[in-house]
Amino acid sequence: MAMNKQEHAQWSSSFGFVLAAVGSAVGLGNIWKFPYMVGESGGSAFVIAYLFCIALVGFPILVAEWLIGRRGQKNPVNTFADVAASQGKSRSWGIVGASGILGGFLILSFYSVIGGWALNYITKIASGEFVGQNGDAVGATFDAMLASAGTLTIWHTVFMVLTAIIVGMGVTSGIEKTAKVLMPLLGLILFVIVGYNVMNGGFGEAVAYLFAPDLSKLTADVMLAALGHAFFTLSIGMGIMIAYGSYLGREVNLLKTARTVVILDTVIALAAGLAIFPIIFSNGLDPASGPGLIFVSLPIAFGSMVAGTIIGTLFFLLITFAAITSSISLLEPTVEFLEERTSMSRTVSTIVASIVIWLLGIAALLSFNLWADFTIMGNGVFDALDKLTSKFILPLTGLAAIIFLGWQMDQRSVQQELGLSNGTWTLWQIISKFVAPIAVVIVFVTTLMG
pLDDT for the residue numbered 35: 87
In this predicted structure, what is the pLDDT of residue 7?
64
Mean pLDDT for the stretch of residues 181-205:
89
- Nearest alpha carbon to residue 121 among 155, 150, 98: 155
Q: How many CB atoms lie within 10 A of CB 47?
A: 25
- pLDDT value for 3: 41
Query: Which residue from 72, 29, 76, 51 is spatially nearest to 398, judged by alpha carbons?
Result: 76
Instruction: Pick the closest to residue 319 from 230, 186, 191, 192 (CA basis).
Output: 186
Q: What is the pLDDT of residue 437?
A: 95
Position 348 confidence tier, pLDDT thresholds 50, 70, 90: very high
Describe the chain by its helix, strand, coil percentages, rounded to 5.
80, 0, 20
pLDDT for position 4: 44
Judge whether 274 and 194 are in contact, CB under 8 Å: yes
Which residues neighbour 197 within 8 Å (Cβ) at sequence distance 6 or greater? 203, 206, 274, 275, 278, 279
pLDDT higher than threshold 60 for residue 6: no
pLDDT reading at 289 higher than 80: no
Rounded mean pLDDT of the chain?
Answer: 91
Task: State pLDDT tens for residues 15-35.
Answer: 889 988 888 888 888 888 888
| Pairwise pLDDT comparison (447 vs 123), residue with the higher score | 123
Which of the residue ranges 213-217, 406-410, 412-416 would you say has the lowest mean pLDDT? 213-217
Please give the pLDDT value at position 450: 63
Could you report how far apart the first and last alpha carbons of the chain are, in Å?
45
Mean pLDDT of 89-99: 97
Q: Considering the entire predicted model, what is its pTM?
A: 0.92
pLDDT band for 446, please (50, 70, 90 cuts).
confident
- The answer, yes or no, to whether residue 116 has pLDDT greater than 90, is yes
For the segment 148-167, the average pLDDT, to the nearest whole number, is 97
Residue 340 has pLDDT above 90, yes or no: yes
pLDDT average, residue stretch 32-40: 85
**Does 429 have pLDDT greater than 90?**
yes
pLDDT of residue 2: 39
Is the pLDDT at 447 greater than 80, yes or no? no
- Whole-Å CA distances, 43 to 21, 51, 213, 302: 27, 13, 9, 23
Nearest residue to 391 via CA among 174, 225, 191: 225
pLDDT at 431 over 90: yes
**pLDDT digits 0-9 by tens, 320-339:** 998 999 999 999 999 999 99
Among 215-224, 240-249, 350-359, whose mean pLDDT is lowest?
215-224
Could you give the percent of the chain with pLDDT greater than 70? 98
Mean of pLDDT values over 174-181: 89
Nearest-10 Cα torsion for 329, 332, 334, 337? -140
Q: What is the pLDDT of residues 233-286, one digit of tens each?
A: 888 999 999 999 999 998 999 999 999 999 999 999 899 899 889 988 888 888
- Does 167 have pLDDT greater than 80? yes
State residue 333's pLDDT score: 96
Question: DSSP letter at 41?
Answer: T
What is the number of residues in the chain? 450
Q: Per-residue b/e over 72-82, b at no fewer than 16 CB within 10 Å?
A: bbbbbbbbbbb
